[in-house]
Amino acid sequence: MAVKPEHGIECLFAPRRTVLDRLLVDAARKVGAEVRHGIALSEVEYAANGRIVGVTLKDASGSRATIGTDIVIGADGRQSTVARLVNARTYVQGCNASGIVFGLSHGYQGWRMMVVIAVYGAMFGVMAHLRRSLRPGMMAHATQDAVAGVLLYFIARS
């Protein structure tokens, strides 16, 4: 898809992943890479001196194989297993700030609710930071909304 040219850039393209991924895989194979699909890295192997000397790979059936390697590149995305396994340092974490922005965006409910939701947002941000996942915050949000809804129902009836 061609995008309007701006700022000295002649054109932009937004290829679908089905197109882009194939191009990348074909290019990697062309320069000698062995590409294996359906394999997940599950462990890294350390030598006594702390250097990584191998990885354990798991296939869809759950069977594991360990292979030796000189170098491991953790190009496995946002929830990188490699980064977690090597305790990689976090450079930027936006959970708390986005939680507070989430609260501020509830200004239409009045400033009291805005402050309450900003505090909730910050707490969910801390939870996401500690658990390295948004899931506990999402579950807490759903639980809080459900409990508040049930309480309001009974308060309205009484």
- How far is it, in rounded angstroms, from Cα 13 to Cα 1? 5
Q: How far is the CB of 55 from ligand FAD (least distance, A)?
A: 9
Q: How far is the CB of 39 from ligand FAD (least distance, A)?
A: 6
Q: Decide: 43 and 72 in contact? Cβ < 8 Å.
A: no
Residue 117: partners with Cβ closer than 8 Å, 6 or more residues away: 102, 103, 106, 109
Give 81 or 96: the residue with its C-beta nearer to ligand FAD.
Answer: 81
Give 75 or 155: the residue with its C-beta nearer to ligand FAD.
Answer: 75
Give 26 or 76: the residue with its C-beta nearer to ligand FAD.
Answer: 76
Residue 14: partners with Cβ closer than 8 Å, 6 or more residues away: 1, 3
Q: How far is the CB of 44 from ligand FAD (least distance, A)?
A: 10
Give 20 or 147: the residue with its C-beta nearer to ligand FAD.
Answer: 20
Give 98 or 126: the residue with its C-beta nearer to ligand FAD.
Answer: 98
Q: How far is the CB of 157 from ligand FAD (least distance, A)?
A: 42
Q: Which residue is nearest to ligand FAD (CB)?
A: 77
Kindly list the residues in this chain that would bind ligand FAD in the complex (CB under 6 A): 14, 40-41, 75-77, 81
Q: How far is the CB of 114 from ligand FAD (least distance, A)?
A: 29
Residue 119: partners with Cβ closer than 8 Å, 6 or more residues away: 103
